[in-house]
Amino acid sequence: MTMSLDVARIQADFPILKRQVNGRRIVYLDSASSSEKPVQVLDAMDRLYRESYANVHRGVYTIAEETTAAFENARSKVASFLGANEPHEVVFVRNATEAINLVAYTWARANVRPGDAIVLTELEHHANIVPWHILAAERDIELRWIPLRSDYLLDLTNLEQLLDGAKLLAFSAMSNVLGTITDVRRMTDAAHAAGALALVDACQSAPHVATDVRAWDADFVACSAHKMLGPSGIGALWARRELLETMPPFLGGGEMISNVTTQGFTSNEIPWKFEAGTPAITEAVGWGAAVDYLTGLGMDAVREHEIGLTGYALHRLRERFGEELAIYGPLDTSQRGGAISFLFRGIHAHDISQVVDQHGVCVRAGHHCAKPLMGVLGVPATTRASVYIYNDENDIDALVEALAAAEAFFAF
């Protein structure tokens, strides 16, 4: 297989990959949950703490201004990575879950009325379901669901009818369980034709494929740093400037105000009116370094690498285990990302995960925060292996060998 990334060089940038687990080299196949971090990100965060850390947007002394500049420079990098018109359209939050909740608690509560509808898909993570359940219970609105086809793609046959009378279409660009890639522009066009706005959960797509919020013609986009080589504790909501300017603040406190009196307050400008309190400063700088790393590789090269590696994984799993291993998700690698969910011989997903861990292989087991999707699939849980830039064919071979050991362990 020809890969455009120098994976050996990339692996050398990730200190954790030098570790052994249970006497075996670590094979990290859980990047859909959270990615590992390159030394460039770790160094950027360490350097800020050692050389110029202070609070942002407050002090006028040298290191405070240096820290503020580094923080806002990180915002600019994230904005450019997402294809935003300007950095001020990027709001820093704790994670993508908070980004979606921000939309639910500000824009939605100001615009959604009893009897309105919000349209979701059966692919969604709980982060893009539960906030809308809460809103539905408060406002007596209807949640409608775009179903999944037998080939694990969305069934858009009745999309126009589902959007009739809807205020929002909220959907993931890539499934964290099945890897299914959604045609984002088709979805946003349909939403706008129906008079609705479109929110895109880009957590799984942003680390793996080029993102362009303007080409998507989205209204809101949520993503997080920790899945794309950055630290945990920080994510972003991108939204159109005109929407952010009309949305009320989400939290109250310092930074999000321009003035406070005994009679009331005046909100700050965007994006800071949504960033109450001291933000995740060092984490933002780390995220900026992660963006630099991915930009240096090139997102087209990242995607090309993952298409090839996912295809290799699907081939090896089916070749070795055949029908004994049920794979959930599209088999066409052009229609999917690198998250591969499967069940093996009816063995519980957690048991599989524990056994392969003895061979140094890290995979996720469970419902992956997507219980409605598990219900559609008719299973309580799956085992999920997910690939990223630091994985290669040797990692896939190690997974297959570990699964073969699990097969022997359970005495089939």
Cβ within 8 Å of residue 395, ≥6 positions away: 27, 28, 29, 387
Query: Is 362 noted as a catalytic residue in this protein?
Result: no
Q: Give 125-188 as a DSSP string.
A: -GGGTHHHHHHHHHHT-EEEEEPBPTTSSB--TTHHHHHTTEEEEEEESB-TTT-BBP-HHHHH
Amino acid at 274: F
What is the distance between the alpha carbons of residues 122 and 141, in angstroms, rounded to a whole number?
18
User: Considering 203, 223, 362, 369, which one is annotated as catalytic?
Assistant: 369
What is the distance between the alpha carbons of residues 222 and 201, in angstroms, rounded to a whole number?
5
CA-CA-CA-CA dihedral for 374, 375, 379, 385, to nearest 10: -10
Structure tokens given for 167: 């205020």
Q: Give 84-110 as a DSSP string.
A: -S-GGGEEEESSHHHHHHHHIIIIIHH
Q: Give 238-280 as a DSSP string.
A: EE-HHHHHHSPPSS-SSSSEEEEETTEEEEPPTTGGG--SS--
Centre a 10 Å sphere on the Cβ of residue 186 and count the other Cβ atoms it contains.
Answer: 12
Closest CA to 223 of 174, 256, 189, 187: 174
Largest CA distance in the chain: 73
Residue 380: is the preceding peptide bond cis (ω within 30°)?
no
Amino acid at 64: A
Active site residues: 369
